[in-house]
Amino acid sequence: MNNKYFVLILLFSFQQLKSEDKSKILLAMDKYNEDFISADYDQIIESFIFPVSIITSERLLSIDTKLGLRFVYKKIRGDLPEFYSYSKWNKIDIQLIDKNIAVVKASFSRYDKNEKKFYDGNGIYQLKKSDNSWKIFSLIPFQSFETL
């Protein structure tokens, strides 16, 4: 009888911990998005833990410094059209790999100053728990994917 209660308490504690991690991951993703919208490069950089990998179909970037990441984000943000206003998450799926690593698959849309959607995209973000907060260490942006 006591073993059953112990297992139930452990299960409840684990679920609560997972729920707390999910909330913190969602908060980290929202903060990253807000900083991206406002082009606050200092704060964007704070969403990451080094080294950072950004993988696209054209290249693999491994970034070891804040200065390097700032340069990349100025380029990414600078390449957006002048009419860009904001981005919004459409869906975020989180998989907790272990207590310190999470994989986030997110879809998002970009909107212009007239609230009209002009782009849909996706990203796979890998996050690591550092000092009780979640930081991005890998990003794979893509527009669509094909299931094989």
The tens place of each residue's pLDDT in the chain, 148 residues long, gives 556 655 444 444 444 457 889 999 999 999 999 999 999 999 999 999 999 999 998 999 999 999 999 999 999 999 999 999 999 999 999 999 999 999 999 999 999 999 999 999 999 999 999 999 999 999 999 988 777 7
69-98 per-residue burial string, b: 16 or more CB within 10 A, e: under 16: beebbeeebeeeeeebeebeeeebebebee
Angle at 28 between CA 77 and CA 81, to 5 degrees: 15
Which pTM was predicted?
Answer: 0.85
User: Which stretch of DSSP H or E encloses residue 36?
Assistant: helix 2-37
Q: What's the confidence (pLDDT) of residue 5?
A: 55
Spatial separation of the C-alpha atoms in residues 53 and 125, rounded to whole Å: 10
Closest to 88 in 3D by CA, of 115, 107, 109, 104: 109
Q: Which amino acid is at 135?
A: K
Distance between first and last Cα of the chain: 48
Q: What's the confidence (pLDDT) of residue 142?
A: 92
Q: Considering just the CA atoms, what is the radius of gyration of the chain in Å?
A: 18
Q: What's the confidence (pLDDT) of residue 13?
A: 42
pLDDT digits (tens, 9 = 90+) for 68-99: 999 999 999 999 999 999 999 999 999 999 99
φ, ψ (nearest 5 deg) of residue 30: -65, -40
Q: What's the confidence (pLDDT) of residue 7?
A: 47
